[in-house]
Amino acid sequence: MSEMNPFKIAQQQLDEAARKLGLDPATHELLRWPMREYRFTLPVKMDNGQTRIFHGYRVQYNAARGPTKGGLRWHPDETIDTVRALAAWMTWKCAVVNIPLGGGKGGVTCNPKEMSEGEKERLSRAYIRAVARELGVHRDVPAPDVYTTPQIMAWMMDEFEAIYGESHPGVITGKPIALGGSEGRGDATARGGVYVVREAAKKIKLDVSKASYAIQGFGNAGQFAATLHREILGGGKLIAVSDSRGGVMSKSGIDPSAIVKHKLETGKVEGFPGTTPVSNSELLELDVDVLYPSALEGAITGANAGNIKAKIVCELANGPTTPEADAILHKNGILVLPDFMANAGGVTVSYFEQVQNTYNYYWSMADIDQQLDRRMTDAFEAVYTTRERAKVHMRLAAYMVAVTRVAEACKLRGWV
Ligand code: NAD
């Protein structure tokens, strides 16, 4: 799957939903393409005194439901097609959690691991100088993504405000709290994922307080999932976790907070006391109730899907399950909580950040939590109901919910 052009995959997923929904040809064609896209050539003065030229992108996929929203990815492999695909997925993600935003995405082809802080700051400011006239709280609002950070968001906001000579904190989200960032953004993705696991468990009558769970990938999403699963669901036994170096397991259970501490201190999960090693592929096939793929795309494929024993698969990662695997999991009665619904907690709290910035009034963590819970629970309910009614797998059901909402907005505007 990862070898296919990601934008072609995104278009194929839409095509399947469009067929199932009987979408009219004009709306279908409109939703297959970004409505607007920009490419920028960015000269940046490097520390050695030479100027390097970077290539940047911003795609505003569809703004029918509101200003476009989506992260900025800085990656050596970044291409316009990755950005287009991610912008399409942002459109469906915002729609499935019913936040009044469209989808967008941006990026720069670069390797931030080889850049100094000064070079990153100059690249951030160059990007904003190029894109500023297309951004704004009523136009398009970027956020962090792979290899971009709250500090980068802070430089970008500062450059935007310098250009316009006004305060515009809502022009970008994922900012540090001291500059108008929101409470709860750090763990929002995992928190949202655990809320949908709670709802899914009710449907299949699984007692989550006694359920076992395993997590593949132990970064931001995976670590918070480990602790929040127990905290929110009032129990549960963590059986195994893994990162890129390998995994560990214990049938009698792993203390989530202790293994997070171990990972932060040693940089790995290996060697955690009281555990035995488990490979990344073995972890996926363990006999657990809930599996959280939280690493990379393409983890569950046609080759291993038949061996998955979990009752619920909560995709915190983007694209962990191939289309072939999806069909197998569905046939085997496994409830998959698809990525753009399961990991939508992050963009939902980004939206809350934008709202707070606009009002210049800030919510407590309790307010954020309550609002996030409601959005995630409603999204799950809409998708699950569609799954039952249309007799389709969860990912297709999520697409059907999202595409219906975006198509309705396009129609009401008179675009199609
Ligand atoms: P991260 O970089 O913090 O963590 C990734 C983790 O995956 C690391 O522990 C890494 O060691 C591990 N990993 C890498 N390759 C692996 C492999 N082959 N097997 C097992 N583990 C491996 O990233 P993150 O922010 O936690 O994101 C993880 C996934 O969740 C990505 O797909 C990302 O797109 C998705 N996601 C994250 C957020 C968010 O808010 N953080 C929001 C939406 C989606």
Quote the ligand 1 centre to 217 CA distance (angstroms). 6
What pLDDT sits at residue 3? 53
219 close to ligand 1 (CB < 6 Angstrom): yes
Other Cβ atoms closer than 10 A to 277:
13
Nearest to 12 by CA among 61, 85, 70, 79: 85
Asked if residue 354 lies in contact with residue 170, where contact means CB atoms within 8 angstroms, the answer is yes
* Burial category of 41 from C-beta neighbours within 10 Å (exposed 0-12, middle 13-18, buried 19 and up): exposed
189 close to ligand 1 (CB < 6 Angstrom): yes
Quote the ligand 1 centre to 43 CA distance (angstroms). 31
What pLDDT sits at residue 322? 87
Nearest to 315 by CA among 245, 374, 394: 394
* Burial category of 105 from C-beta neighbours within 10 Å (exposed 0-12, middle 13-18, buried 19 and up): buried
Assigned CATH topology for domain 37-167: Rossmann fold (3.40.50)
The three-class DSSP label of residue 215 is strand
218 close to ligand 1 (CB < 6 Angstrom): yes
Q: pLDDT of 336-382, one tens digit each?
A: 999 999 999 999 999 999 999 999 999 999 999 999 999 999 999 99
**Which of 8, 20, 69, 105 does the annotation list as catalytic?**
105
Strands 36-45 and 51-62: antiparallel
Per the annotation, the verdict on 251 as an active-site residue is no
Note the CATH architecture for domain 188-337. Answer: 3-Layer(aba) Sandwich (3.40)
Nearest atom in ligand 1 to the alpha carbon of residue 296 is 32
321 close to ligand 1 (CB < 6 Angstrom): no
Round to whole Å and give the CA distance between 23 and 19: 7
Is 188-337 the same fold as 37-167? Answer: yes
Per-residue pLDDT of the chain (416 residues; tens, 9 = 90+): 345 688 988 899 999 999 999 999 999 999 999 999 999 999 999 999 999 999 999 999 999 999 999 999 999 988 999 899 999 999 999 999 999 999 999 999 999 999 999 999 999 999 999 999 999 999 999 999 988 999 999 999 999 999 999 999 999 999 999 999 999 999 999 999 999 999 999 999 999 999 999 999 999 899 999 999 999 999 999 999 999 999 999 999 999 999 999 999 999 999 999 999 999 999 999 999 999 999 987 899 999 999 999 999 999 998 899 888 989 999 999 999 999 999 999 999 999 999 999 999 999 999 999 999 999 999 999 999 999 999 999 999 999 999 999 999 999 999 99
Nearest atom in ligand 1 to the alpha carbon of residue 189 is 40
What pLDDT sits at residue 83? 94
Nearest atom in ligand 1 to the alpha carbon of residue 346 is 40
The pTM of this model reads 0.94
Mutation test residue for ligand 1: of 189, 224, 260, 350, the one with most atoms within 8 Å of CB:
189
Instruction: Give me the amino acid identity at 97.
Output: V
Q: Where are the domains of the chain?
A: 37-167, 188-337
348 close to ligand 1 (CB < 6 Angstrom): no
Asked if residue 242 lies in contact with residue 218, where contact means CB atoms within 8 angstroms, the answer is yes
Nearest atom in ligand 1 to the alpha carbon of residue 343 is 43
296-to-2, 244, 316, 350 alpha-carbon distances in Å: 10, 10, 9, 22
Instruction: Give me the amino acid identity at 166.
Output: E
